[in-house]
Amino acid sequence: MTPEEQDLAREASKLFSGRVDFLLSAPQLKFLPDGDFPEIAFCGRSNVGKSSLLNALTGRRAIARTSVTPGRTQELNFFEVGEPTQFRLVDMPGYGFAKAPVKVVEKWRALVRTFLKGRAVLKRTLVLVDSRHGLKDVDREMMRMLDETAVGYRIVLTKADKIKASELEAVASKVSDEMRRHPAAHPQLHLTSSEKGLGLDELRAAVLADVRS
Ligand SMILES: Nc1nc2c(ncn2[C@@H]2O[C@H](COP(=O)(O)OP(=O)(O)OP(=O)(O)O)[C@@H](O)[C@H]2O)c(=O)[nH]1
Ligand SMILES: [Mg+2]
């Protein structure tokens, strides 16, 4: 790390361990807060670990609700970071959850898409992908949509503690290859485990860099 990167990492770790408050939960677009601060959104398949990652990054056990039941997060949940507020984190409903009623899935899908496409203060989207599964077609569809609307995103592999290092390496290299074909994807792939704390310092620093970009 360069001295600048070290400074950023230190600052990021201070911010994420400081004030983090739940702001509001928006079940529909009309309930969105005003775009007063830069935002970073967490999206990905149902159960991929979005809420867990948000908790792990902020060092809170359960500021975002997690569950063994896929489809737990059903609204856009906003969290404020910093005193005074520096940025917001947005926990989103998951996509690709086959067991949810079609109508509910369509509602979430529309909510997520409209938000991602139209939110002027959105600085970056984190697209979470389960290390064990790699990219699925629903992820590719999301990546294409973000490419088309020029919303910059980072791919974050989650649950890295659940597979062997050699398998993780293979998945990471496959995902990295595919990422290169997506113009809005950041070239750096993040490997994380919310359970073991892997990759979180780097991701906090990356988020802060994005907030300030
Ligand atoms: N081993 C391990 N389990 C994890 C990790 N991250 C999440 N999990 C587990 O995966 C399950 C789903 O996690 P959530 O954070 O609720 O997933 P989500 O993406 O928010 O799910 P939805 O809100 O339903 O879309 C929970 O049982 C978590 O405990 C991780 O890094 N390692
Ligand atoms: Mg969730």
Tens of pLDDT, residue by residue over 116-167, are: 999 999 999 999 999 999 999 999 999 999 999 889 999 999 999 999 999 9
* pLDDT of res. 70: 61
Distance, CA of 55 to CA of 47 (rounded, Å): 14
pLDDT at 64 over 90: no
What is the 212 CA–ligand 2 centroid distance (Å)?
A: 26
Distance, CA of 13 to CA of 202 (rounded, Å): 10
Q: What is the CATH number of the domain that holds 160?
A: 3.40.50.300
**DSSP-derived secondary structure letter, 189:** P
Read off the pLDDT band of 98 (50, 70, 90).
Answer: low
Read off the pLDDT band of 94 (50, 70, 90).
Answer: confident
Instruction: Pick the residue whose CA is nearest to atom 5 on ligand 1.
Output: 159
Residues in CB range of 152: below 8 A, 6 or more apart: 123, 124, 125, 146, 184, 186, 210
* pLDDT of res. 65: 75
Q: Is the CB of 125 under 6 A from ligand 1?
A: no
From first CA to last CA, the distance across the chain in angstroms is 19
Do 2 and 84 form a contact (C-beta atoms < 8 A)?
A: no
Q: How many domains does the chain have?
A: 1
Range of the domain at 170: 3-211
What is the 120 CA–ligand 2 centroid distance (Å)?
A: 23
Question: Tokens at residue 190, please?
Answer: 């993040």
Residue whose CB lies within 8 A of the most ligand 1 atoms, among 52, 142, 190, for a mutation test: 52
Mean pLDDT of the chain: 91
Hunting for tokens 């290299």 — which residue is that?
Answer: 173
Read off the pLDDT band of 104 (50, 70, 90).
Answer: confident
